[in-house]
Structure 1
Amino acid sequence: MHQLLDEIAAHHYPNPPATQARVEAFEAHSGWHLDEDLRAFYLRCDGATLFRPFPHEKFRILRLDEIRRARVELRGKDDDSMGAASWWTLVYLGDSDFNLVDVARPGGPHPILDAFHETYPRLVEVIAPSFRVWLERTLQSENQLWWLPG
């Protein structure tokens, strides 16, 4: 994970790190704990934009204070008809699309899901088994949505 974080620091647009107190406050507020990889990321940079800076970014890993329950962010309702309670926004992809983190399994690793705003919550699929794998694939993608066909 350290090598991936070094690459973000050297070649992308990281935010300043979150403090340990900020991470703990996020966990207390959200009711779930960051897995090992997410904790390492947020203690190194509290969010980051990959490849291109704002306003032309395609991948913006959210700051802790921007992470929301997906069903609230995407549908404005916090009930089970609007998606699983364990799905949280993690990466903004532009045009109201997100990659989500599924925190259903305590301790992690937490899988990463793709959520297209027009088909959410009907079509949500796992695209990486962990944040580390998602980050590796994304950094190798040359700014492409690598999980989409063609």
Structure 2
Amino acid sequence: MPISHLQKLLDEVAASHYPNAPATLEQIAAFEASAGWRLDDELRAFYLRTNGACLFEPQPEQTFRILGLHEIQPVRVAKPRQEESAGAASWWTLVYLQDSDYNLVDVARPAPYPILDAYHETYPQQVVEIASSFAVWLERTLRSGNQLWWLPAD
């Protein structure tokens, strides 16, 4: 997705949702040094615009909370399991969906990084790619009407 289209989505988040203050270049550099991976261009653009955001509703009512840089962590830390192989080491939390559910970013793949769904009752056995990039995820989410658009309809 072109960065110009992503900028329009970020404008929408800023105007109609609940964004945090932007991350600084220093915060981004500190996050990347600590995490051991670099934000792709789409995530970098997002965090330079807002260091996390609630979509549709403010906290604590929100369904979608894109985590601030200080909240992103390996999914193995966020969703600990007794099995040592509970999820790939390259899966990091990105979006909190309530009740220990997350959308993840897979940083082992080439940029732009895909977004995965990690439903708490089926994790780590069933983790599925739901968007080819953050921009695709953001557009689908903004058009969803506050619904978990990747889940099958009842």
Q: What letter is aligned with 2:18?
A: Y
Distance 2:89 2:103 in 1: 15
State the shift of 1:75 in Å.
Answer: 1.3
Distance 2:98 2:109 in 1: 28
State the shift of 1:71 in Å.
Answer: 1.3
Distance 1:44 1:128, change over 3 A: same
2:3 is matched with none
State the identity as a percent.
66
Runs of 5+ consecutive residues of structure 1 not aligned to the other structure = none
State the shift of 1:138 in Å.
Answer: 0.1
Q: 1:148 aligns with which of 145, 151, 154?
A: 151
Runs of 5+ consecutive residues of structure 2 not aligned to the other structure = 1-5
Q: 2:136 aligns with which of 127, 133, 142?
A: 133
1:98 is matched with 102
Distance 1:43 1:76 in 2: 33
TM-score by length of 2: 0.93
Distance 1:122 1:94 in 2: 20
RMSD (Å), alpha carbons: 1.2
1:53 is matched with 58
Distance 1:118 1:78 in 2: 15
